[in-house]
């Protein structure tokens, strides 16, 4: 251990410079406990929307995807495709469990980070518990998603940064570069910490704390870590010849530039941000983050503290004005920082009030969030709280689906897809939307149900299927029964809603010509 630093609170303790045997043992215990929680919470098979499309891409070995390079997440898919070949249980469950594994590593990494930083196990355990039981992180550890792997790498980066500022060993900087490169190859969120690290390394160079050789090694290892993403960018440039367009796709995807670059912050968005934060930290422990701000202000090492503060501000600013429909997921890195602040706040409390009752109260408050998530759906339904969701998906109670983070035993997506496929005629066409197309394709291809049915959507379709649009609709309707999943605007094509009649057929809607369509030949 390094010498203790003078001053009250956090700075009175002796900081750790390396893990002890007991710390390693506790790290493994936290890893196993979080793994058990998320393993139990995992959905047993196919799931809705983006997570279902992740399973579908893994099934097809698709590393690039169809929504732009920023949404390719190649390193995640390389790992997931490998895991998908392990012949244990349901394929969809294996992909979901990968998120659980990465989530457990992330929680354990947060424990290790705080243990090394603060020198005490209790604040580190509270910080890890806080993140583990936060709504959005827990939710994404229960379904196929990329964020838990990114968080595990991000927290690994902070461990390396902390250890470098303690020991001045360049090896920690090298590993930091490698991990951040890998994080960028998982998700472009890694570019935000990258900017902070570049400034940090630039300052080290100016102060001659490291040499140009060290900076070059960091850069080369970063390039090695980000290689899967760099490969996609390079091949896209070569195939398209469009350098600027490829770089835009790598930064924003195909159609999210306005969301990423949005600078407007309306009252509606601000209110949503507050509600999302409350949902993730629905206990009095959130107040400990205020004490954590004070602890961060006077904590050491100063260089590490300054990077953490910069990340806290940048990650909050990025997520708070992001306007994509799944914006709640982009708060996950900020929630990691809040969990760190809560750990710092616990350190401030226990260094001043040495009483077991206080410690037990803090731990009990951590688990209070589980009870909140359990009772929230019926209370929200009774109060008729609007969630902003579509609420027309069969076998999905949106209050339970969105307010409870666990997916234990949830088979609604597979039940819907099986029932839809088995109910239609031979050769039928089902026009799905982004929420429902993945379960339909999954049940058809992975489960082998009704391969004669053609599934069409704007993001994925059955192989060899003809495009379904206002120009082909009339001809296709004379040759095939056609169904849609929803008649809600935005989820059902406008030309179908305007020119055709929809009749309920089980979990689907059957499309038929109306008088106007027949008179005008389908146009």
At 119-130, the pLDDT tens digits run 999 999 999 999
Q: What local confidence, expressed as pLDDT, does residue 299 receive?
A: 86
Q: How much of the chain exceeds pLDDT 90, in percent?
A: 76
For residues 415-434, average pLDDT? 95
In whole angstroms, give the CA distance from residue 300 to residue 163: 12
Tokens of 317: 């600013």
Q: What local confidence, expressed as pLDDT, does residue 386 receive?
A: 87
User: What are the tens digits of pLDDT across the range 206-247?
Assistant: 999 999 999 999 999 999 999 999 999 999 999 988 899 898
Helix residue ranges per DSSP H, 298-452: 302-320, 332-350, 356-382, 398-403, 412-423, 437-445
User: What are the tens digits of pLDDT across the range 373-418?
Assistant: 999 999 999 999 888 888 889 999 999 999 999 999 999 999 999 9
Q: What local confidence, expressed as pLDDT, does residue 353 receive?
A: 85
Higher pLDDT, residue 35 or 20: 35
Q: What local confidence, expressed as pLDDT, does residue 10 receive?
A: 43
Is residue 13 over pLDDT 60? no
pLDDT band at 522 (very low <50, low <70, confident <90, very high): very low
Is residue 15 over pLDDT 70? no
Q: Which contacts qualify for 6-11: CB closer than 8 Å, 24 or more apart?
A: 7/298, 8/351, 9/294, 9/295, 9/298, 9/347, 9/348, 9/351, 9/352, 10/118, 10/295, 10/298, 10/299, 10/344, 10/347, 10/348, 10/351, 11/298, 11/299, 11/300
Can you give the pTM of this predicted structure? 0.92
Averaged pLDDT score across all residues of the chain: 91
For residues 59-70, average pLDDT? 92
Tokens of 417: 């897809």
In whole angstroms, give the CA distance from residue 177 to residue 216: 10
For residues 138-157, average pLDDT? 98
Q: What local confidence, expressed as pLDDT, does residue 94 receive?
A: 96
Higher pLDDT, residue 88 or 113: 113
Tokens of 91: 């394929």
End-to-end CA distance of the chain: 78
Query: What is residue 513's DSSP assignment?
Result: E
Q: Are 316 and 265 in contact (CB under 8 A)?
A: no
Instruction: Give every CB contact of residue 256 below 8 A, 6+ residues apart in sequence.
Output: 68, 70, 324
Tokens of 510: 């059957």
User: What are the tens digits of pLDDT across the range 295-333?
Assistant: 998 888 999 999 999 999 999 999 998 877 788 999 999
Is residue 5 over pLDDT 60? no
In whole angstroms, give the CA distance from residue 395 to residue 414: 9
Is residue 16 over pLDDT 70? no
For residues 285-293, average pLDDT? 95
Pairing of strands 429-431, 482-484: parallel
Q: Are 10 and 298 in contact (CB under 8 A)?
A: yes
Q: What local confidence, expressed as pLDDT, does residue 339 receive?
A: 98
Q: What local confidence, expressed as pLDDT, does residue 100 receive?
A: 98
Is residue 4 over pLDDT 50? no
Q: What local confidence, expressed as pLDDT, does residue 509 receive?
A: 96
Is residue 107 over pLDDT 50? yes
In whole angstroms, give the CA distance from residue 247 to residue 192: 17
Q: What local confidence, expressed as pLDDT, does residue 219 receive?
A: 97
Is residue 7 over pLDDT 70? no
Q: How much of the chain exceeds pLDDT 70, in percent?
A: 93
Q: What local confidence, expressed as pLDDT, does residue 260 receive?
A: 72
């Amino acid at each position: 251990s390094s010498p203790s630093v003078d001053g009250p609170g956090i700075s009175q303790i002796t900081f750790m410079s390396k893990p002890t045997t007991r710390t390693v043992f506790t790290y493994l215990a936290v890893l196993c406990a979080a793994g058990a929680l998320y393993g139990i919470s995992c959905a047993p098979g196919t799931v809705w929307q983006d997570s279902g499309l992740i399973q579908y891409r893994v099934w097809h070995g698709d590393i690039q995807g169809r929504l732009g390079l920023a949404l390719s997440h190649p390193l995640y898919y390389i790992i997931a495709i490998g895991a998908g070949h392990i012949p244990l249980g349901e394929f969809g469950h294996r992909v979901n469990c990968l998120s659980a594994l990465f989530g457990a590593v992330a929680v354990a990494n947060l424990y290790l980070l705080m243990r090394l930083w603060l020198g005490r196990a209790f604040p580190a355990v509270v910080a890890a518990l806080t993140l583990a039981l936060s709504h959005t992180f827990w939710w994404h550890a229960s379904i196929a998603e990329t964020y838990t792997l990114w968080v595990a790498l991000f927290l690994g980066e902070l461990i390396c940064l902390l250890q470098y500022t303690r020991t001045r060993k360049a090896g920690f900087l090298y590993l930091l570069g490698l991990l951040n490169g890998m994080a960028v190859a998982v998700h472009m969120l890694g570019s935000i910490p990258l900017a902070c690290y570049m400034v940090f390394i630039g300052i080290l160079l100016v102060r001659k704390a490291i040499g140009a050789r060290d900076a070059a090694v960091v850069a080369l290892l970063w390039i090695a870590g980000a290689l899967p993403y760099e490969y996609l960018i390079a091949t896209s440039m070569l195939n398209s010849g469009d350098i600027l367009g490829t770089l835009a796709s790598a930064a924003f995807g195909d159609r999210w530039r306005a969301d990423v670059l949005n600078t407007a912050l309306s009252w509606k968005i601000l209110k949503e941000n507050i509600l999302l934060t409350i949902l993730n930290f629905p206990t009095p422990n959130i107040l400990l983050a205020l004490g954590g701000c004070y602890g961060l202000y006077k904590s050491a090492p100063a260089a590490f503290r300054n990077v953490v503060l910069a990340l806290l501000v940048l990650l909050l600013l990025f997520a708070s004005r992001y306007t994509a429909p799944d914006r709640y997921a982009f708060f996950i890195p900020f929630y990691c920082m809040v969990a760190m602040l809560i750990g710092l706040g616990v350190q401030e409390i226990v260094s001043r009030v040495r009483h077991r009752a206080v410690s037990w109260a803090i731990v009990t408050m951590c688990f209070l969030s589980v009870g909140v998530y359990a009772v929230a759906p019926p209370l929200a339904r009774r109060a008729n709280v609007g969630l902003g969701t579509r609420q027309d998906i069969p076998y999905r109670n949106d209050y339970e689906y969105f307010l409870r983070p666990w997916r234990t035993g949830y088979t609604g997506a597979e039940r819907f897809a099986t029932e839809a496929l088995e109910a239609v005629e031979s050769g039928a066409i089902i026009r799905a939307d982004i929420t429902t197309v993945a379960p339909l394709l999954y049940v058809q291809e992975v489960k082998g149900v009704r391969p004669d049915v053609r599934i069409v959507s704007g993001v994925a379709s059955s192989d060899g299927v003809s495009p379904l649009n206002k120009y082909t609709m009339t001809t296709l309707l004379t040759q095939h029964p056609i169904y849609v999943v929803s008649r809600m605007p935005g989820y059902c094509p406008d030309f179908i809603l305007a020119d055709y009649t929809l009749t309920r057929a089980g979990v689907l809607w059957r499309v038929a010509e109306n008088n106007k369509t027949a008179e005008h030949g389908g146009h």
